[in-house]
Chain A
């Protein structure tokens, strides 16, 4: 009898025991901060003050009137478009090539993934050097072809472009591998039949591969949107540690503005409001892109 009871108890209680350690930690370090950020954002809360007054949604309405916030949002969206669109298009092409019967396929896969495993800070430092005004390699190459001498950090368009290049370089190979995994699940005889009909490689990519891997494309669009909205290290390092993203805030992203609010002005209440606002914008951007990518399916 006793053994039987123990057995029942083991069966009933074990699942909860196994999830509990994860879940308790997850609630403490993952969920609690979310709620606490919302709480802080409703207060006039700075690092130095002892008391925090409840001010409701004032931080949020202030934020909507804050031109620096809109500037940061606009920069972020530009970087998002300039980085995720080329990144995903190049990744599809690259995956298509990697999906051929290549000699040394592991080597090629490793070489495209290499940029992704390195630290984003190191990458931003190296590219910051390549994009240097006076001694940068890129300006030197441009000079060889008489294409001028660009002060990459000063202009808004040029700095947004340079930052987007870093992101494209870092993430194209990663996404190519994700697409490659999806492409390998497409039945091979579809391609054989198309080849017999005389379809070119590019036609096969457009007519067979892309429709077949659409769920994966939607997935990567959403993931890169979420990532692109949070860009922080690239502009911070590119601006040599400037929290404002250049003297005229020409390449400050939302995440960087949040950092400035929280840890240069130490205005925790306002920064928390910016954090929640950023989350809402991420949800909107991801939702819009999701609907957009789905519509493309309907159009075919």
Chain B
């Protein structure tokens, strides 16, 4: 079907609706609070952004600590999930072993289990090991994911020809060498996509950090929620915080958006 002019008009409206909340967040972040009570509300940028940014990076907000913690935690989680998923995905997709299908099915089934189910026991465990309020507490529960294994298994099943592995074996290659020289290079595109998706979801993770971290040692998301639930509604400061949390994501998205879309659509067809 060929699109008509009004199709583009409609899509432009959709794009505006997608963008507007972000724009509005920056608008509010660029004003001081006195302007926000005006009628009509401000819809264009003001000149107070620098001042608000200074306040948002002030010591009592712990924004810097939050950004560092989120960056560290998300990076470790991403590396760990992608690595273990590739290793396990290889075994599920290409190696023969007893119970393989049953185990894979079991792992996929656990993707239905809500995260909230694990929060209380994890909190008890973390307090037993005196990890509450420390960075490892937000990392450990996310070191592996069922989704990652599912994703890599699906990809490697078709991306690496079984004949290639058999040929390598006939040449006397050990399994670890096959993994290193055949599977890893082939897995790279999928690993990149899985890495982006994992990083985004680790960065945006909210409930568990909220439970286990505190105001002095937060992640970005808990900085935001602490800001927004403050006693005095300092709206321009709150929305400045939201803007700070969003901007890195928008930059990542504008650079890698094509791959993110590819990953989501690829996962959809195969599932």
Contact of A121 among B40, B115, B225 (CB under 8 A): B225
Q: How far is the CB of A97 from chain B (nearest CB, A)?
A: 6
Q: Determine if B36 and A180 form an interchain contact, defined as CB atoms under 8 angstroms apart.
A: no
User: Which residues of the partner chain B approach A21 to less than 8 Å between Cβ atoms?
Assistant: 84, 87-88
Q: Determine if A110 and B206 form an interchain contact, defined as CB atoms under 8 angstroms apart.
A: no
Which of A66-74, A130-138, A152-160 lines the interface with chain B?
A130-138
Does B181 reach chain A (CB closer than 8 Å)?
no
Summed over the interface, the residue pairs from A and B with CB atoms below 8 Å come to a total of 278
Q: Determine if A178 and B264 form an interchain contact, defined as CB atoms under 8 angstroms apart.
A: yes
Query: B7's closest neighbor in chain A, by CB?
Result: A97
Q: Determine if B116 and A241 form an interchain contact, defined as CB atoms under 8 angstroms apart.
A: no
Given contact pairs A22-B85, A129-B28, A233-B207, A262 touches B119 in the complex (Cβ within 8 A): yes
Q: Determine if A100 and B7 form an interchain contact, defined as CB atoms under 8 angstroms apart.
A: yes
Q: How far is the CB of B155 from chain A (nearest CB, A)?
A: 15
Task: State in angstroms the CA–CA spacing of A178 and B238 once bound together.
Answer: 33
Given contact pairs A26-B107, A112-B18, A119-B245, A34 touches B3 in the complex (Cβ within 8 A): no
Q: How far is the CB of A166 from chain B (nearest CB, A)?
A: 9
User: Which residues of the partner chain A approach B100 to less than 8 Å between Cβ atoms?
Assistant: 15
Q: Determine if B261 and A109 form an interchain contact, defined as CB atoms under 8 angstroms apart.
A: yes
Interface residues contributed by chain A, number (CB under 8 Å): 96
Q: Provide the A209-239 mask, 1 if CB < 8 A to any CB of B, else 0.
A: 0000000100100000010011011001100
User: Which residues of the partner chain A approach B225 to less than 8 Å between Cβ atoms?
Assistant: 121, 233, 236-237, 241
User: Which residues of the partner chain B approach A122 to less than 8 Å between Cβ atoms?
Assistant: 25, 224, 242, 245-246
Q: Determine if B204 and A119 form an interchain contact, defined as CB atoms under 8 angstroms apart.
A: yes
Does A117 reach chain B (CB closer than 8 Å)?
yes
Task: State in angstroms the CA–CA spacing of A27 and B17 once bound together.
Answer: 43
Q: Provide the B181-201 mask, 1 if CB < 8 A to any CB of A, else 0.
A: 000000000000000000010
Q: Determine if A37 and B121 form an interchain contact, defined as CB atoms under 8 angstroms apart.
A: yes
Identify whether the interface residues of A are mostly helix, strand, loop, or mixed. helix
Query: B242's closest neighbor in chain A, by CB?
Result: A122
Q: Determine if B24 and A137 form an interchain contact, defined as CB atoms under 8 angstroms apart.
A: yes
Does A282 reach chain B (CB closer than 8 Å)?
yes
Given contact pairs A120-B204, A204-B1, A258-B116, A125 touches B95 in the complex (Cβ within 8 A): no
Contact of B118 among A37, A123, A237 (CB under 8 A): A37
Query: B23's closest neighbor in chain A, by CB?
Result: A126
Task: State in angstroms the CA–CA spacing of A241 and B206 once bound together.
Answer: 13
Does A185 reach chain B (CB closer than 8 Å)?
yes
User: Which residues of the partner chain A approach B149 to less than 8 Å between Cβ atoms?
Assistant: 22
Contact of B265 among A103, A108, A137, A180 (CB under 8 A): A180
Query: B140's closest neighbor in chain A, by CB?
Result: A29
* B1-20 with Cβ < 8 A to chain A: 1-3, 7-8, 10-11, 14-15, 17-19
Q: Determine if B18 and A16 form an interchain contact, defined as CB atoms under 8 angstroms apart.
A: no
User: Which residues of the partner chain B approach A169 to less than 8 Å between Cβ atoms?
Assistant: 17-18, 21
Q: Determine if A135 and B37 form an interchain contact, defined as CB atoms under 8 angstroms apart.
A: yes
User: Which residues of the partner chain B approach A185 to less than 8 Å between Cβ atoms?
Assistant: 269
Q: Determine if A275 and B261 form an interchain contact, defined as CB atoms under 8 angstroms apart.
A: no
Does B112 reach chain A (CB closer than 8 Å)?
yes
User: Which residues of the partner chain B approach A80 to less than 8 Å between Cβ atoms?
Assistant: none
Q: Provide the B35-52 mask, 1 if CB < 8 A to any CB of A, else 0.
A: 011011100000000000
Q: Determine if A121 and B264 form an interchain contact, defined as CB atoms under 8 angstroms apart.
A: no
Known: A15-B95, A23-B88, A118-B204. 17 other contacts (CB 8 A): A10-B174, A14-B176, A29-B122, A31-B110, A101-B2, A101-B3, A102-B7, A110-B261, A118-B250, A119-B221, A126-B25, A182-B268, A201-B1, A219-B271, A237-B229, A240-B233, A275-B117
Q: Which B residues fall within an 8 A CB radius of A?
A: 1-3, 7-8, 10-11, 14-15, 17-19, 21-22, 24-25, 28, 36-37, 39-41, 84-85, 87-88, 90-92, 95-97, 100, 103, 107, 110, 112-125, 140-144, 146, 149, 174-176, 179, 200, 203-204, 206-207, 211, 220-221, 224-225, 228-229, 233, 235, 238-239, 241-242, 245-246, 249-250, 252-254, 257-258, 260-261, 264-266, 268-269, 271
21 contacts between A and B (CB under 8 A): A14-B176, A15-B100, A18-B91, A22-B144, A22-B149, A29-B144, A31-B110, A36-B124, A106-B261, A121-B204, A121-B206, A125-B224, A126-B21, A128-B228, A129-B235, A140-B40, A233-B207, A237-B228, A259-B207, A272-B120, A275-B120
